[in-house]
């Protein structure tokens, strides 16, 4: 078993470190499939519904931003277990995007099957070739991660993000929202991602030190805005899953409507604050946290003295050419932070209690 972990202590850590490779493989896999018939179908589509569970749902929340921006088709995202039991109107101009690492999650599969019966088209994004969902869909795009053993999804999440971004760009090209030159410009930024992720992995020791400072707390808050708001949700989910510390992810601007009441000198607040178009908005939210004595852990590429003075800890991420790429970079430190907190607490990170890798019950 030690050999299977390639020298790493846990599958989760091995899988976190595999991401430069799985991102590279997923990009190549995507480009070997540019004739996927979904790009013809996308010309007929009027609305998109993304359905998924768990971490795959968070990938869907990020994907919605890219689809709106590049494909310009109104899109909603829902938990498969919710979507299934409501009367959402679909027709033959509806594209359901079902995201699932395993392709076996019952709620996701049956949501897709039901929507197809009502004449919607289904595109699935799956990691396991030949899985049930892939066979039950009109179109499939694969992520190329190989098997993921750790119950908490890591490398499959970043692969789902890359796939959703590339899908949005290609579909945008097909619908005439993007020129070939613009598409290639994005591609040239995207191929730097494996290198950028490697840069974040070099922060591992620094992140472990921060984990030693805060592993004994009872609650954590994760904040982000825009594309990085779902990353805050994902950070909180990872921490709950593997360390059993209560955590909440919130869109930073919504904090004043509730979670701000929880902030005191004992609450670590992980703030995802890349130098993007929402940077100044995040800074004012961080000021609100600091004014209530919260412990600020910033994940940022900014060197601004203002952010440094507000932050108790900074986890550095590299700057990206194009702000659409930030979520793929900013989730990596959260994977490492939650991994270290859980291992310091002595938890079984690969096999957390009560959780299953694949949930085939409804």
What tokens were used for 334? 């959260």
Region 323-352 residues binding ligand G6P, contact defined as CB under 6 A: none
Binding mask 255-294 for ligand G6P (x = CB under 6 A): ----------------------------------------
Q: Is 238 a catalytic residue?
A: no
Comparing CB distances to ligand G6P, the nearer of 134 and 300 is 134
Residue 355 contacts ligand G6P per CB under 6 A? yes
Residue 19 or 56 having the CB closest to ligand G6P: 56
Number of residue whose CB is nearest ligand G6P: 54
Residue 54 is a binding residue for ligand G6P (CB under 6 A): yes
Query: Is the CB of 73 or the CB of 236 nearer to ligand G6P?
Result: 236
Instruction: For 286-336, give the secondary structure using H, E and C.
Output: HHHHHHCCCEEEEEECCCCHHHHHHCCEEEECCCCCCHHHHHHHHHHHHHH
Residues 6+ apart with CB under 8 A from 312: 295, 296, 297
Candidates 47-55, 223-231, 275-283, 330-338; binding stretch for ligand G6P (CB under 6 A): 47-55
Q: How far, in Å, CA of 90 to CA of 61, rounded?
A: 20
CB nearer to ligand G6P: pick between 54 and 249? 54
Does residue number 153 form part of the binding site for ligand G6P (CB under 6 A)? yes
User: Which of 55, 158, 243, 330 is in the footprint of ligand G6P by CB under 6 A?
Assistant: 55
Q: Binding of ligand G6P at residue 101 (CB under 6 A)? A: yes
Neighbour-count burial for 159-186, b at 16+ CB within 10 Å, e otherwise: bbbbbbbbbbbbbbbbbebbeeeebeeb
Residue 230's contacts (CB-CB under 8 Å, 6 or more residues apart) are 58, 59, 61, 62, 224, 327
Residues near ligand G6P, by CB under 6 A: 53-56, 100-102, 105, 108, 151-153, 355, 357-359
């Amino acid at each position: 078993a030690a050999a299977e972990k390639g020298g790493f202590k846990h599958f989760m850590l091995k899988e976190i470190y595999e991401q430069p490779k799985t991102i590279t493989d997923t990009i190549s896999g995507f480009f070997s499939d540019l004739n996927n018939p979904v790009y013809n179908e996308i010309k007929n589509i009027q609305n998109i519904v993304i359905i998924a569970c768990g971490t795959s749902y968070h990938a869907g929340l990020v994907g919605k931003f890219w689809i709106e921006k590049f494909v310009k088709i109104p899109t909603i995202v829902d938990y498969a277990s919710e979507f299934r039991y409501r009367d959402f109107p679909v027709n033959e101009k509806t594209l359901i995007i079902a995201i699932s690492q395993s392709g076996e999650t019952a709620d996701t599969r049956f949501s897709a099957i039901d929507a197809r019966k009502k004449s919607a088209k289904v595109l699935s994004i799956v990691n396991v070739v030949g899985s049930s969902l892939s066979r039950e869909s009109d179109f499939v795009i694969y992520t190329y991660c190989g098997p993921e053993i750790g119950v908490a999804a890591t490398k499959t999440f970043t692969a789902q993000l890359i796939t959703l971004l590339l899908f949005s760009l290609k579909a945008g090209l097909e619908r005439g929202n993007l020129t070939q030159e613009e598409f290639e410009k994005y591609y040239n930024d995207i191929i730097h991602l494996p290198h950028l992720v490697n840069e974040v992995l070099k922060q591992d020791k620094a992140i472990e030190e921060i984990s030693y400072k805060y592993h004994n707390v009872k609650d954590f808050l994760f904040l982000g805005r825009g594309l990085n708001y779902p990353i805050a949700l994902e950070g909180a989910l990872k921490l709950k899953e593997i360390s059993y510390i209560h955590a909440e992810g919130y869109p930073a601007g919504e904090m004043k409507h509730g979670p701000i009441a929880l902030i005191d000198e004992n609450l670590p607040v992980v703030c995802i604050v890349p130098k993007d178009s929402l940077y100044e908005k995040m800074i004012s939210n961080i000021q609100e946290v600091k004014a209530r004595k919260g412990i600020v852990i910033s994940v940022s590429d900014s060197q601004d003295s203002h952010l440094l003075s507000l932050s108790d800890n900074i986890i550095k991420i590299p700057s990206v050419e194009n702000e659409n790429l930030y979520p793929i970079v900013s989730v990596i430190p959260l994977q490492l932070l939650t991994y270290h907190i859980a291992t310091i607490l002595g938890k079984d990170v690969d096999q957390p209690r009560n959780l299953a890798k694949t949930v085939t019950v409804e």
